[in-house]
Chains A and B, each alone.
Chain A
């Protein structure tokens, strides 16, 4: 057809297809992708280190801001870990409210994903329609929790706010409208010809590859792997709710779309059960400021997959170590496998199909090369001095910067 030879196209860190910066260096041969090089770390903000210098109460709000879309997931996971260390049992009404907000968050995240996927394949109408529906959920959040993102509804020992009877009625009404709209989107996805052409056969990931590369969430469930933390290891109120884990056998982006839309329908079912069964009672119990020493590991099914938090405490007000492993970090390895021998035009939709949230992903990972068995732990102060020396060698001087910033403030 045409021959451009071998060309290296940088896809990121800044690119209209990516909502957050990440670098994918593609080697193209005409329109086919022959090699892919992924570089992470553009969104690293040092949150895990910052957590060690703040008290648990302050950390609660910091951890929430790891990600804007799955903020409740991170917040609840952290709170569950700390409550496990402190040995606290939270009242049942608080568990139900946490689950309610979690499911509402899943709804808004999946609707957002549908819109983004539509935009990546040039179907802007789907973007406008799904984001219009998402506004209904955001308005509920503003009324119930006080904010449209970063809800701040968790506190140690329970929740901060209650859901009144009127708000429950409002939620049920919105769920009814959304259920109708979601059924329409399901029909649309199954019947619209151009959508099927763009989504089918793209980003194929077989079940063995999904297990081998460690995929989680809808990415794995669309390849037939039945993994869902809400089902395997129930937390909050999930043990008392009746729901199904949605899997699909298509193994491609089309399957992932179907899994997410059907999960939306499941979430509506779960919310109806929650609002029916929610028990009356206290909203929180008192938790001391100093958490006794211990460590805990907690998991949560975020909209993107399994979110894992590890907290180690040493008896003071500030945690000793906080570690977060976001679901996108597990899913990003599947991208290179999925894009082998595919076209450039498939690139945005394949990346969008794992529902990337690079703000969650860029944390600290330690990679151990099999030949170098030595590990070195560098203390904080000497790391800082090393950084200053590195920049001075290249002619950039940071001394006096803090004073300049303070003056301008």
Chain B
């Protein structure tokens, strides 16, 4: 019982995610800055931002629905942390595992987007409402390719649990190479989920001020931003567990270091993509996702189905 509490609150639960989330934010900002030929913030900047926001006053608009407004950041944070406990990180077994937990993890990662929508909609400010609607519209575009590419890997492993997939891929080293197309699609879709350029349409600063987060301030904004950072870590960990499932049998602490390296590499790729592209318009993004990403994801599923038949022999 004490061990479970320790797992949930400290490691690899809330406290570890807090530290890693802030570190991921720092790495993202520093790397982006160096790519743009400037210095970037010092290492304690995300922590300083978080503490500063905690000290400011929460201003809630009069017409906003106070209960939903205050609840959304906590729900976002909670679902991200819950998803983290289900992913095999640096060993074959995650903290909690059962058949079908792939679907549960993907669902838990969709909950933050819903909280952005609800938080923005119930703020009743025109900018938040537009941002909220955009957020939901974007959800329909990137969710399908993301789900398809992850399920393609699950298909090859013939199991619906992440632990089963980890075991399968460790037993057959080299099989993860078949999923490279899915990997590329998943990284691009992850950009959409995390709302980073070129898909940061719901939070387009120059068009709708801050989208769903316009009316948030103080502690609520601190937790929303923290949940955004933690979502980046959790999304990265999920992709690392599904598409880079090698080295899971190594002894600690080498396995831990390998895990950190994988997630930091993914964050680096996200930062690079962030600096290379301009922001797309909503209709252009939906066109792109449905014309190119979704068919490629279906192709990956097809390839894996054929391979399953071939390799079983």
Answer whether A and B touch in the complex at a CB cut-off of 8 Å.
yes
B281 at the interface (CB under 8 A from A): yes
| Complex CA–CA separation, A293 to B200 (angstroms) | 60
Within 8 A of A (CB), among B163-210: 197-198, 200-201, 204-209
Q: Assess A4 versus B133: contact at CB under 8 Å? Given A122-B197, A125-B275.
A: yes
**Contact of B36 with A128 in the complex, beta carbons under 8 Å:** yes
Min C-beta distance of B201 to chain A, whole Å: 7
**Contact of B37 with A9 in the complex, beta carbons under 8 Å:** no
**Contact of B133 with A132 in the complex, beta carbons under 8 Å:** no
Q: Assess A347 versus B137: contact at CB under 8 Å? Given A123-B278, A125-B35, A197-B284.
A: no
Q: Assess A348 versus B280: contact at CB under 8 Å? Given A124-B275, A129-B36.
A: no
Min C-beta distance of A114 to chain B, whole Å: 13
Chain B's closest residue to A7 (CB) is B126
**Contact of B38 with A194 in the complex, beta carbons under 8 Å:** no
Chain A's closest residue to B136 (CB) is A2
A29 at the interface (CB under 8 A from B): no
**Contact of B277 with A345 in the complex, beta carbons under 8 Å:** no
Chain B's closest residue to A122 (CB) is B279
Chain A's closest residue to B210 (CB) is A16
From A8, A28, A121, give the contact of B278 (CB < 8 A): A121
Count the B residues whose beta carbon is within 8 Å of the partner chain — how many?
Answer: 31
Chain A's closest residue to B284 (CB) is A197
**Contact of B278 with A343 in the complex, beta carbons under 8 Å:** no
B276 at the interface (CB under 8 A from A): yes
B264 at the interface (CB under 8 A from A): no
| Complex CA–CA separation, A118 to B280 (angstroms) | 12
**Contact of A194 with B206 in the complex, beta carbons under 8 Å:** no
Min C-beta distance of B208 to chain A, whole Å: 8
Q: List 12 A-B contacts (CB under 8 A).
A: A1-B137, A4-B133, A31-B282, A121-B279, A123-B197, A124-B197, A128-B36, A198-B281, A343-B281, A345-B281, A345-B282, A346-B281
With a CB–CB cut-off of 8 A, which chain A residues contact B278? 118, 121-123, 192, 194-195, 197-198
| Complex CA–CA separation, A123 to B273 (angstroms) | 11
With a CB–CB cut-off of 8 A, which chain B residues contact A7? 126, 129-130
With a CB–CB cut-off of 8 A, which chain A residues contact B137? 1-2
Q: Assess A128 versus B37: contact at CB under 8 Å? Given A4-B130, A119-B206, A348-B207.
A: yes
Per-residue interface assignment for chain A, residues 219 to 245, with 1 indicating a CB less than 8 Å from any chain B CB and 0 otherwise: 000000000000000000000000000
Per-residue interface assignment for chain A, residues 92 to 112, with 1 indicating a CB less than 8 Å from any chain B CB and 0 otherwise: 000000000000000000000
| Complex CA–CA separation, A121 to B206 (angstroms) | 8
**Contact of A17 with B206 in the complex, beta carbons under 8 Å:** yes
A355 at the interface (CB under 8 A from B): no
Per-residue interface assignment for chain A, residues 191 to 227, with 1 indicating a CB less than 8 Å from any chain B CB and 0 otherwise: 0101101100000000000000000000000000000
Min C-beta distance of A203 to chain B, whole Å: 13
- A7, A8, A17, A119, most chain B CB atoms within 10 A: A17
Min C-beta distance of B197 to chain A, whole Å: 5
From A28, A31, A123, give the contact of B277 (CB < 8 A): A123
Q: Assess A123 versus B206: contact at CB under 8 Å? Given A9-B130, A132-B37.
A: no
**Contact of B279 with A198 in the complex, beta carbons under 8 Å:** yes
B63 at the interface (CB under 8 A from A): no
| Complex CA–CA separation, A55 to B204 (angstroms) | 48
Within 8 A of A (CB), among B225-251: none
Return the 8 tightest CB-CB contacts between A and B, nearest first: A122-B279, A123-B278, A128-B36, A17-B206, A194-B278, A348-B206, A345-B281, A194-B277
Per-residue interface assignment for chain A, residues 72 to 104, with 1 indicating a CB less than 8 Å from any chain B CB and 0 otherwise: 000000000000000000000000000000000
Q: Give 15 A-B pairs besides A9-B126, A122-B278, A129-B37 with Cβ atoms closer than 8 angstroms.
A: A2-B133, A4-B133, A8-B126, A9-B130, A15-B209, A17-B206, A123-B197, A124-B36, A125-B36, A125-B276, A132-B38, A197-B280, A345-B207, A345-B281, A346-B281
With a CB–CB cut-off of 8 A, which chain A residues contact B283? 31, 343
With a CB–CB cut-off of 8 A, which chain A residues contact B204? 122, 345
Within 8 A of B (CB), among A122-137: 122-125, 128-129, 132
Chain B's closest residue to A192 (CB) is B278
Per-residue interface assignment for chain B, residues 74 to 101, with 1 indicating a CB less than 8 Å from any chain A CB and 0 otherwise: 0000000000000000000000000000
**Contact of B206 with A122 in the complex, beta carbons under 8 Å:** yes
Min C-beta distance of B211 to chain A, whole Å: 11
With a CB–CB cut-off of 8 A, which chain A residues contact B129? 4, 7
With a CB–CB cut-off of 8 A, which chain B residues contact A17? 206-207
A306 at the interface (CB under 8 A from B): no
Min C-beta distance of A28 to chain B, whole Å: 8
Min C-beta distance of B95 to chain A, whole Å: 38
A120 at the interface (CB under 8 A from B): yes
A47 at the interface (CB under 8 A from B): no
